[in-house]
Structure 1
Amino acid sequence: MTAWIILPVSLSTFSITGIWIVYAMAVMNHHVCPVENWVYNDSCSDDTAKHGYPKSCCTLNDVPLISKCGTYPPESCLFSLIGNLGAFMVVLICVLRYSQVLEQSHRSWVNTTALIAGCTNAAGLIIVGNFQVDYAKSLHYIGAGVAFPAGLLFVCLQCVLTYHIAATTLDLWMAHVRVTLSALALISLVFSGIFFIHDSFLLQHLAAVCEWIFVIDILIFYGTFAYEFGGISRDTIVTAIQHASSRACKSPGSSSTSTHLHCNPEGITMI
């Protein structure tokens, strides 16, 4: 067992705890209404509608979407930190998982696509975390439109890979757990999108609830990689380096002479 097991656990624990703290700060600072509030008003007085004023009534501007909770300072600072640090850990997990699958089952287009999807998810998270919805709405929505589908694609592909390389009954059970999490993520994301495009108070609130379910579900999925990361060793990283080097050596248009001069598998193996 290696220390890499801490990485996926840290991502899940840090991110889930962090976004709930952001939500609590937003509610305490009267920037959003509590998630348990289902009563919205068509209009509020000028005083009660402005941000930072105690909420005697709630409008569509106060729906507790995750992004909305992280719009105004001071919670926006923590929200950006979570997005940036979380994206960094997501990339590390995706690369390590890619290397691990590569080590066990060699090349696979599913594994490569999962790596691309995971890194795309991380890029979207950076945009979402640093461009708040009320100040850079277009960029924020672009980031969310990239991060959410890419995250869903990543977890679905990881389900396929988990079944593909399963060697024990426990591995199969983990695959079943991941399929369940992926199905929940798909359902919650679809319903969140459907509800979000309507102006109904009730549907907007349901969209927020579904968004929270989706994000927490995806973070729990990332945490399940702790099951495999206990087996990561130096050889896992070396396998990925060797694979990347061999692809570079065999790139189209390279001559046999240049391949011989610039590629040294023995040297790579000794890293």
Structure 2
Amino acid sequence: MTAWIVLPISLSAFSITGIWIVYAMAVMNHHVCPVENWSYNESCSSEPAKHGYPKSCCTLDDIPLISKCGTYPPESCLFSLIGNVGAFMVVVICFLRYGQLIEQSHSSWVNTTALIIGCTNAAGLVIVGNFQVEYAKYLHYIGACVAFPAGLLFVCLQCVLSYHVAVSVLDFWMAHLRVFLTTVALISLVLSGIFFVQESFLLQHMTAICEWIFVIDILVFYGTFTYEFGAVSNDTLVAALQHSNNRGCKSPGSSSTSTHLNCNPDSIAMI
């Protein structure tokens, strides 16, 4: 068992705890209404709420969407930090999982695609975390449209790979758990998209709840990689780097020789 086993569970614990702290800060600073609030109005009194007390009157601008909670300072600073650190950890997890499957002689287009999609998910998270919806709406929505579908596609591909490499009964149970988590993520994301385009206050609030379910569910899915990461070693990273480099190598007959000269496996093994 190696120290890499801490990485997936750290991503889940850090991100889930972090976004709930952001939510608590946003509620305390009256930037959003509590998630248990279901009463919204077309217009509210301009009288500010007392500090430390929840809003007594809420509009659609106060719906506690995750990105809405991280719009204004000081919580926006923590939200950006969570997005950046979380995205980095996602990339590392995706790369290690990619290398681990290669070590097990399960190199396939599904594994390669999962790596690409996972990195795409991380890129979307960086955009979402650093471009707040109130100040850079279009960039924020682009990031969300990249991060959410990519996150869902990544967990779908990992479900396929989990069944493909399963050997023991425990492996199959983990694959079953991941299918359940993926199903919850799919349902919540679809419902969130459907509710988001509606004008009903009730459905808009349901959008926020579905979004929270989706994000937490995906983070829990990443945490399940703790099950496999006990077997990850430095050789796993070398295998992933070597395989990635070999895919870019050209044959001796290629018109370009610079790429071929840089693809010596011995030099990669020294990393």
Work out whether the TM-score is over 0.5: yes
What is the aligned residue count?
270
Gaps of 5+ in 1: none
The aligned residue for residue 104 of structure 1 is 104
Q: Give the 3 Å change call, closer, same or farther, for CA 122–224 of structure 1 in structure 2.
A: same
The aligned residue for residue 145 of structure 1 is 145
Deviation string 1:23-80 (CA, Å, 9 cap, x unpaired) is 000001111000000011121123359x999622100000000011001111111000
Deviation string 1:127-150 (CA, Å, 9 cap, x unpaired) is 100111111111110100000000
Q: Which one has the bigger helix percentage?
A: 1
> Does residue 1:187 correspond to 2:184, yes or no?
no
Asked if structure 2 preserves the Cα contact closer than 8 Å seen for 1:26 and 1:32, the reply is yes
Aligned-partner Cα distance in 2 for 1:11–1:254: 43
The aligned residue for residue 177 of structure 2 is 177
Aligned-residue CA RMSD in angstroms? 2.2
TM-score, normalization by structure 1? 0.93
One-letter amino acid matched to 2:184: L
Aligned-partner Cα distance in 2 for 1:260–1:124: 33
Deviation string 1:235-268 (CA, Å, 9 cap, x unpaired) is 2122112212322223697259778754433443
TM-score, normalization by structure 2? 0.93
Q: Give the 3 Å change call, closer, same or farther, for CA 71–52 of structure 1 in structure 2.
A: farther
Q: Give the 3 Å change call, closer, same or farther, for CA 248–74 of structure 1 in structure 2.
A: same
Aligned-partner Cα distance in 1 for 2:81–2:257: 48
One-letter amino acid matched to 2:130: N
Misfit runs of 4+, over 4 Å? 51-54, 255-262
State the secondary structure of the residue aligned to 1:47: coil
Identity of aligned residues (%): 79
Asked if structure 2 preserves the Cα contact closer than 8 Å seen for 1:242 and 1:265, the reply is yes
Q: Give the 3 Å change call, closer, same or farther, for CA 37–100 of structure 1 in structure 2.
A: same
Q: Give the 3 Å change call, closer, same or farther, for CA 212–264 of structure 1 in structure 2.
A: same
The aligned residue for residue 206 of structure 1 is 206
Asked if structure 1 preserves the Cα contact closer than 8 Å seen for 2:118 and 2:151, the reply is yes
Q: Give the 3 Å change call, closer, same or farther, for CA 267–210 of structure 1 in structure 2.
A: same
Deviation string 1:3-39 (CA, Å, 9 cap, x unpaired) is 0011111100000000000000000111100000001
One-letter amino acid matched to 1:111: N
Aligned-partner Cα distance in 2 for 1:12–1:243: 28
State the secondary structure of the residue aligned to 1:206: helix
One-letter amino acid matched to 2:59: T
Aligned-partner Cα distance in 1 for 2:73–2:225: 33
Aligned-partner Cα distance in 1 for 2:175–2:244: 28
Aligned-partner Cα distance in 2 for 1:148–1:230: 28
